[in-house]
Amino acid sequence: MFTTKRAYSPTIGEALILLLIIVGLVSISIIKFSAPPHIPILLSIFLLILYGLVKRVPFHLLEEGMVNGAKSGLPAIFIFFLIGLLIATWMIGGTIPTLIYMGFELVTPHFFYVIVFVVTAIVGMVVGSSLTTSATLGVAFIGIATALDISLAVTAGAIVSGAFFGDKMSPLSDTTNIASSVLKVDLFEHIRNMAWTTIPAFLISLIIYAFISPNVTTVHFDRLASIQAGLLETNLVHWYSLIPVVILIIFALKKVSAFITLAFISIFSIFLSLFHHIPSGKELFQILFDGYVSTTGNEAIDSLLTRGGINSMMFTVALVILALSMGGLLFTLGIIPVVLESVGKLLNSAGSVIFATACTAIGVNVFIGEQYLSILLPGEAFQSNFKKVGLTNKNLSRVLEDAGTVVNPLVPWSVCGVFLSNVLGVPTLEYLPLAFFCLLSPVLTILFGFTGKTLTYAKSE
């Protein structure tokens, strides 16, 4: 999509009006009418096609733009399928039940949200993937919160905050490598420079989570002990079920591709399941497609363990295809490029350049829903503006991560937002105001931009 050829150049007024209509249509449909995001996005696609035809853009070019947009999401779609498999196989292999059981042991009467935030941050840094961290450890913590009868929205916010802190600061992360490589900034220099905004956001979030963490009562712990006993009775909790976690960490450190990592671990988890349960061929294929279905009769445990499968990702995949197709049309019709070009002419100070870059990264997440493009597009569009005001590229790479990488999970129709709400079982709009790290990062990067704090100018290097 990034290289999609522009078939038309609208005026800036037309471009802004169309963007406002699309945002209004999608927002009202989701927020007021609780509609699945697929429908308003499909209606937006119809609107863009109609606009293109009125402007005499050949339909085959519009179709090509949609296809190119959808095509850019294929790598993510394959990963989603594999994560659906991974969750199902980690269920039958006992990995997620064992993580839940061990997670119960970490729970104290105080600071539950802090534990969730810190542990997911550490694992996210080691694994280098926010989605993998959320789909594995995050699922376990959601299970614990369900058992304790405490807020799933705050728990999901802490999971998302921790996972994206880890993803952002990990040298193994795709987005971190993309931001540094596209702008030709040394990877570890990029990470060190991000610490100026990332560490304060982390500490402030930590304090907030500590302040709002609930006091877990004895009744809750009694219920916890009951569920732990029930988990043991499923015969899914075993020490060897943690081996896939170790393999995941090793593969991440070795920088093995996510596709190979997830595929290998899924197959290995099936092998592990044979140590405690030998499913029939029909049963195994059913689990891989529809997910694991727990039938213990204990409602709490069954709700924790009934998860995964390729079919569980279909909602996500359909939405990703529609959202990226809409993004392809926005490029083909020149709407996004015209806005970027117009904004770039108005920037003459460090603060204004950083503010515009951050808003553009957020805007790409909102209008296109794709995390990588929120780094690539503003990175390409604003390099010359950063150079004009004397800022080095590592300032730009930091802004892109602060306002691009960590904002994507806050958009209900984005790739990360859809995936996380599906996997964690908490709607994006419910955890959005509670994902404090993700909210603070763009605010701090804009604040430092206007104050000039922690900025690096070319003449100082």
The string of pLDDT tens digits covering residues 228-282 is 888 888 899 999 999 998 988 888 778 787 788 889 999 999 999 999 988 888 8
d(CA 315, CA 195): 36
Which residues, listed in sequence order, are joined to residue 457 by a DSSP beta bridge? 391
User: Which DSSP string do the residues of 41-74 spell out, in sequence order?
Assistant: HHHHHHHHHHHHHHTT--HHHHHHHHHHHHHTTH
Q: What is the mean pLDDT of the chain?
A: 85
Q: What is the pLDDT of residue 216?
A: 63
Radius of gyration of the CA atoms of the chain, in A: 23
- Is 373 a residue whose pLDDT tops 80? no
- Is 197 a residue whose pLDDT tops 90? yes
- Top mean pLDDT of 17-31, 133-147, 424-438 is at 424-438
Would you place residue 187 in the very low, low, confident or very high pLDDT band (cuts 50, 70, 90)? Answer: confident
Q: What is the pLDDT of residue 208?
A: 95
Structure tokens at 312: 């569980």
The string of pLDDT tens digits covering residues 96-132 is 888 878 877 776 767 889 988 998 888 788 667 788 7
- Is 460 a residue whose pLDDT tops 60? no
Q: What is the pLDDT of residue 73?
A: 76
pLDDT average, residue stretch 19-26: 85
Q: What is the pLDDT of residue 109?
A: 64
Q: What is the pLDDT of residue 321?
A: 86
Q: What is the pLDDT of residue 328?
A: 87
Q: What is the pLDDT of residue 461?
A: 44
The residue behind tokens 């296109």 is 368
Amino acid letter, 84 = G
Q: What is the pLDDT of residue 52?
A: 94
Q: What is the pLDDT of residue 341?
A: 76
Flag whether the pTM goes above 0.85: no
Closest CA to 429 of 136, 33, 18, 87: 33
Would you place residue 453 in the very low, low, confident or very high pLDDT band (cuts 50, 70, 90)? Answer: confident
- Is 137 a residue whose pLDDT tops 80? no
Question: What is the percent of the chain with per-residue pLDDT over 90, rounded to a whole number?
Answer: 33
Question: Comparing 165-174, 351-360, 410-419, 423-432, which segment has the lowest mean pLDDT?
Answer: 165-174
- Is 218 a residue whose pLDDT tops 60? no
Would you place residue 217 in the very low, low, confident or very high pLDDT band (cuts 50, 70, 90)? Answer: low
- Is 38 a residue whose pLDDT tops 90? no
d(CA 317, CA 428): 16
Please check whether residue 117 is in contact with residue 209, taking contact to mean a CB–CB distance below 8 angstroms.
yes
